[in-house]
A = this chain, B = another copy of it.
Amino acid sequence: MSVLIVGSIAIDNIKTQLEEHRELLGGSASYASVSASFFAPVNLVGIVGSDFPKEHIDLLKSRAVDLEGLQIADGKTFRWSGEYEWDMNQRKTLSVELNVFETFSPKLPEAYKKTPIVLLGNISPSLQKHVLEQVDNPRFVVADTMDLWITTTRNELLDLLKGIDLLVLNDGEARQLTEETSLVKAARSILRLGPKYVAIKKGEHGCLLLSKDRFFSCGAFPLEDIHDPTGAGDTFAGGFAGYLASLEKDSFEFDDLKKAVVYGTLLASFCVEAFSLERLKQITKKELDDRYQLFKLMSHFEVIE
């Protein structure tokens, strides 16, 4: 089963307190597509400029990411520069150039309109909705969002929430959206806005998944060194959607979603071990499955085997 992924495709310049790398492949759709491709074919919807390096196109092609929905427009690709503080939890945006992204109005190829799993990566809620409206009766819709959209396009976001299955956001954003301090209360408040499920990412502390009557707490995979947190959330969402697609089911149980959260978490743990998609594109499915087994040992407190 395929996953449709829409989001940004960017050229990033990233600075940490130890390293600086320029002209990197970035953007929510890039991370999410490569992550989902561990499990399922991906239909990518996005836009780049005529300056977009061929090596990045080749990378996506090598991962069985379908590029019929990728527009290559005259002009420059979306660019983002950011810098991380010592603890890698705080980042500041140094510059953003929307470039060709400014006039992006995605039109889905016919072949994409029946994709069963949809991931609306982190772009404006109105663009997310515009894409969703073109999909014919999807089985499961995941949407990612961020503080910017909660602040600037709150009504559009609230409108979008009525039509999705899972909202993914971080703890600060969940508190911002709901004005609740307790994450459990914040999650319940989000569920009342429409989604059947909500996943709250807590960075180095893992992730919570909630439905009206179920709860799953997933720790983060322990890492000694984090080189670049960029794209961790997008990688999480991509791995989640890809794993669901791989199940080839008509509908999903909470236990399916728990495993999807774990795979998303583990793919994100690989992502942050290097800059850009460098680590993600190197690892094998076997390395991912080995980390899954190890993580199970680390998280379960009664092992029946």
Contacts and interface: CB of A to CB of B under 8 A. Distances in A.
A301 B183 contact: no
Chain A: interface residue count, which band?
35 or more
A20 B208 CA distance: 31
A91 to B, nearest CB: 15
Interface string A81-92: 000001110000
Query: Which of A204, A205, A215, A259 has the largest number of chain B CB atoms within 10 A?
Result: A205
Contacts of A184: 222-224
A286 interface: no
A178 interface: no
Interface in A211-251: 215-220, 222-226
Contacts of A226: 182
Interface of A: 86-88, 181-185, 188, 202, 204-206, 208, 215-220, 222-226, 255, 258-259, 261-262, 296, 298-305
Given A206-B219, A217-B219, A299-B300, 14 more contacts: A88-B181, A182-B224, A185-B224, A188-B224, A205-B206, A208-B222, A215-B222, A217-B220, A217-B222, A218-B219, A259-B302, A262-B301, A296-B302, A300-B300
